[in-house]
Amino acid sequence: MNNVSTKDWIEWLIMGFSFLFSLYVYVNHTRRLNRQQKTINDQQSQINDYIIKENEEQERNKKKACIICEILDPIEKGKARRLRMKNMGLSDARNINIEIIDNEEVFFFVEDDFFPYAKLLPTQHVDISYRNDSYKEQYNVRFTWSDDFCEENSSVQVIVFP
């Protein structure tokens, strides 16, 4: 009864190899899953950082105004052309000034106390009649304003005053 046959030894040996192989497969599979989970966690962290930055940028943009101008044709023949000043931002623009750099002879038909213009709401515009008595048509125009994001905003736009 104490005799262990060769057949029993082979069975025990096969069972031992099966156990070791199963253990090897389990450890390798667990390592692979851990690497994949680490990659997924890193990617999720990057996505979260991107979403946070995007939300912060949107919050900043909600506080910004953006002033642009365009030239409009006269309403009726013989009338003055108009400069349309628009707020394309998401915040109110306050204390808006217009300065024509190297102004030669462009005249705005406004009251002396028109500028700084008090306030433009988002998507709101104001039309200003003008006359250009110069041979030059293209000017650099500087806009300055304040909004909820910054008190001293400035932008320069090239405008053709026909």
The pair of three-digit structure tokens given for residue 53, joined into one six-digit string: 């930055």
Q: pTM surpassing 0.75?
A: no
Assess whether pLDDT exceeds 80 at residue 4.
no
- Predicted pLDDT of residue 16: 94
Q: Element (H or E) spanning 112, and its range?
A: none
pLDDT digits (tens, 9 = 90+) for 76-132: 777 788 999 999 999 999 999 998 887 778 888 888 888 899 999 999 999 998 888
Mean pLDDT of 13-32: 95
Written as one string, the DSSP assignment of 32-94 is HHHHHHHHHHHHHHHHHHHHHHHHHHHHHHHT---EEEEEE--SSTTSPEEEEEEE-SSS-EE
Confidence at residue 121, expressed as pLDDT on a 0 to 100 scale: 94
- Answer with the residue of higher pLDDT: 29 or 77: 29
DSSP 19: H
Instruction: Give the residue, 51 or 138, on which the prediction is more confident.
Output: 51
Report which residue type is found at 143. F
